[in-house]
Amino acid sequence: MDITLARTWVQAIAAAVDEHQDYLTQLDSAIGDADHGTNMHRGFRAVTAALPGTEPATVGEVLVKTGSLLISAVGGASGPLYGSAFRAMGRALDIPTADTAQFAAALAAGLASVQNLGAAVPGDKTMIDAFAPAVEAFQHIAQAGGDFAAAAGAAADAAEDGMRATTPLQARKGRASYLGPRSIGHQDPGATSTALIFRALAETAAAR
């Protein structure tokens, strides 16, 4: 991961969010307040508006800036949660180029920061249900000597599996938890946007 790849990744997330904005909102209308697509769109539009005007010297600067913009642009729970994830990843990558192991450690820091802030664990039907298996898959491939694109591909597959596995769960965190058992049978919106974020990473890495 270098500065160009970090920038391209963030652009790819913004494009995926644009494409799937209505779907994310539709998922959130079933078990939330129907704003997840709007929140993600607003956040990543702020990022794509501001990032091209910056001259980052490290991968970390791209990601910290992304996180800060998400926090200031998004009102919903997902803004501070994703914002803290990107900021923590960025703080772990104060270097111009990160190898696969360094990026794996940064992903773990991002996940830890979301869990510190939101106190969700796997099975609570949140973005953690996609994020945690994605980090685990990335680490697994990295430790086995796989390259960045292979690790990112495995992470995206794991995130999508985790996303689908949220459907039968009852929400224990976030707005969806107010529905109790009525949250069962719906895919979690935040797990879905997390899967988009990891798929964007995999596609960006594979395209190099």
Among residues 56 and 80, whose Cβ is nearest to ligand ADP?
80
Which of residues 11 and 29 has its CB atom nearest to Mg ion in the complex? 29
Number of H helices, E strands in the chain: 8, 0
Residue closer to ligand ADP (CB basis): 13 or 114: 114
21, 62, 70, 76: which one binds ligand ADP (CB under 6 A): 76
Q: What is the chain's length?
A: 208
Binding of residue 78 to ligand ADP (CB under 6 A): yes
The neighbour count for residue 108, using CB atoms within 10 Å, is: 18
With beta carbons less than 8 A apart as the criterion, state whether 18 and 37 touch.
Answer: no
- How many CB atoms within 10 Å of residue 119? 12
Asked whether position 33 contacts ligand ADP by CB under 6 A, the answer is yes
CB of 158 to Mg ion, least distance (A): 24
DSSP bridge pairs for 130: none
What is the closest distance, in whole angstroms, from the C-beta atom of residue 69 to Mg ion in the complex? 19
CA-wise closest residue to 6 among 49, 57, 41, 45:
57
Question: Residue 127: helix, strand or coil by DSSP?
Answer: coil
Using the rule CB under 6 A, is 37 a contact of ligand ADP? Answer: no
d(CA 55, CA 66): 13
Query: What dihedral do alpha carbons 11, 14, 16, 20 form, nearest 10°?
Result: -170
Tell me whether residue 133 or residue 174 sits nearer to ligand ADP (CB atom): 174
* Nearest alpha carbon to residue 23 among 191, 199, 157: 191
Per-residue binding letters, 116-135, with ligand ADP (x by CB under 6 A): --xxx-----xxx-------
Q: Figure out which of the listed residues 5, 63, 77, 154 binds ligand ADP, where binding follows CB under 6 A.
A: 77
Residue 190 partner contact from ligand ADP, Mg ion, none using kind-dependent CB cut-offs of 5 to 8 Å? ligand ADP
Question: How far is 173 from 176, CA to CA, in rounded Å?
Answer: 7
Q: Name which of ligand ADP, Mg ion, none residue 133 binds, using a CB cut-off of 5 to 8 Å depending on partner kind.
A: none
Answer yes or no whether residue 16 interacts with ligand ADP by CB under 6 A: no
- Which residues are near ligand ADP by CB under 6 A? 28, 32-33, 35-36, 39, 76-78, 81, 114, 118-120, 126-128, 173-175, 188-191
- Which residues are near Mg ion by CB under 5 A? 28, 32-33, 35-36, 76
